[in-house]
Structure 1
């Protein structure tokens, strides 16, 4: 038997005694490497979170994290693929849709908790169901509601319902509180769907927005639900930015003009008392 063959057999025996191949890592070493990779990824994600809307370039991320360029590129590729990071422009990286979705979920839960007492107070004042919505792009999203004491409750939407911004009273109040460019963009985005809501159209929606701004609160009927009229009011932040909106809905017969005004006053009073510093 040649010397080389003998050496190869001896080497194979040594490998078997050690429990693996010469290049294999022990479970402890593998776990240590995985932990180190996770720590680097989280450090990189923290740097992107701290960068704000404009994001960071790779060179900035290397400087902020102390990681090598190749490592940053490799980690970014994984974070982008998983949706935690997104490419902004050609060379910058920002937080991705999965993080934005979670942030919105937390914010909406906070808004719902803070608006629930407002809805309860308004509903107690008028006996009808009250609702709260927030804006998600060109749509409204119902985040809370309170059922009133009147024998007939008009539960036009439920928590989780989404519809074009403006076809319901709360959505119309929130739409009217937005800057003109956002109003125009939302109306344009929703135009194809308006026909499903009582033959609403962009021109009609623009008229409703103007009326809401002049009045200070919204009124809309026979659009989202036939035979139903609702009153809505925007809820602002401390800085005056529209954050959400509330509404009360009932039958057309139960909503004459004087009662619409009464409900609007109840909304204004509840917001001033329970959310004096805004949402």
Structure 2
């Protein structure tokens, strides 16, 4: 019988190497599955963050993320258990207490205090309520407000209110001051929620952003609150980065074009005098 030729340099450990490679492949596959699950969970969390104070239903989250219903339910169970998401009633999901606490701590220290005198100056000049917001991803977060002296006050939001960036005047001013890629990302994230704000659409938001950039300040009405019109302006940092925004809101009858321009001028003057170096 002919004995098969063997290589004397081949040892038993060399023969086992294919098994070792197979084990590593399994580990890599497990890691890939874990990465995909994490990516899906973060995508779902982004959708919840962009949903505003009323939250979204599971069917809305499926539509926003492209995930199947069982996957959304499974991920929501984990996010709710960890406190990052909370249920709002029986069918909607909103930002959970743990994430809200992190977001609150993320607001730069002193912004509200530094913007409060600006709000007071503007509100006293026009008699209407003034507001200040900062950005949290694709949403706006109201951090301060000043109630005016006019008998009819439109308190459209309160301190702590979050809503899609751009549906209010301050949020629109801040959104318009961001780089193009950030604007596009915010509009995409908020698109599923726009219909709840006066039938806002992504195309309509893009037009408003373009108009705001051309004008230098924002104006928007009948979206966040019907019958209300507001004017907004971005607030820049010392290096020219958009960090916050302020706005004044009133009933539409009190906001003809010449008064809009007057309020915008009042905002610009107050920021120049009280925050000459920016936030």
TM-score, scaled relative to structure 2: 0.63
SS state of the match for residue 166, structure 1? coil
Distance 2:103 2:163 in 1: 18
State how far apart, in whole Å, the 1-side matches of 2:257 and 2:154 are.
18
SS in 2 for 1:158: coil
* Deviation sequence 1:49-107 (CA, Å, 0-9, x none): xxxxxxxxxxxxxxxxxxxxxxxxxxxxxxxxx9xxxxxxxxxxxxxx899646514x1
- Aligned-residue RMSD, C-alpha: 1.8
| 4+ residue runs over 4 A deviation | 97-103
Whether contact under 8 Å (2:198, 2:223) holds in the other structure is yes
* Runs (5+) with no aligned partner, structure 2: 1-81, 83-98
Aligned equivalent of 1:5 = none
Structure 1 stretches lacking a partner, 5+ long = 1-81, 83-96
1:134 aligned counterpart, secondary structure: strand
Instruction: Kindly indicate whether the alpha-carbon contact (under 8 Å) linking 2:200 and 2:223 is maintained by their aligned counterparts in 1.
Output: yes
Give the 3 Å change call, closer, same or farther, for CA 101–256 of structure 1 in structure 2: closer
Aligned match of 2:121: 121
State the distance in 1 between where 2:239 and 2:209 align.
22
Aligned equivalent of 1:219? 219
Q: 1:256 to 1:113 in 2, by over 3 A?
A: same
Counterpart Cα distance in 2 of 1:102 and 1:132: 15
Structure 1's 98 and 166: CA in aligned 2 closer, same or farther, altered over 3 A? Answer: closer
Deviations 1:244-265 (A, max 9, x none): 0000000000000000000000
Alignment match of 1:104 (pick from 106, 122, 141): 106
Query: CA 1:100 to 1:158, structure 2 compared with 1: closer, same or farther past 3 Å?
Result: closer
Which residue matches 1:256? 256
Q: Where do 1:95-174 residues align within 5 Å?
A: 101=103, 103-105=105-107, 107=108, 109-174=109-174
The CA distance in 1 between the partners of 2:101 and 2:221, in whole Å, is 37
Displacement of 1:163 after TM fit?
Answer: 0.2
Measured against aligned partners, the alpha-carbon deviations of 1:157-212 in whole angstroms (never above 9, x if no partner) come to: 00000000000000000000000000000000000000000000000000000000
What does 1:1-279 align with in structure 2 at a 5 Å threshold?
101=103, 103-105=105-107, 107=108, 109-279=109-279
Cα distance in 2 between the residues matched to 1:99 and 1:239: 28
Q: What SS does the corresponding residue of 1:148 show, helix, strand or coil?
A: coil
Q: How many residues align?
A: 183
CA distance in 1: counterparts of 2:101 and 2:136, whole angstroms: 15
Change (3 A) 1:202 1:101: closer
Alpha-carbon contact 2:103-2:136 (below 8 Å) kept: no
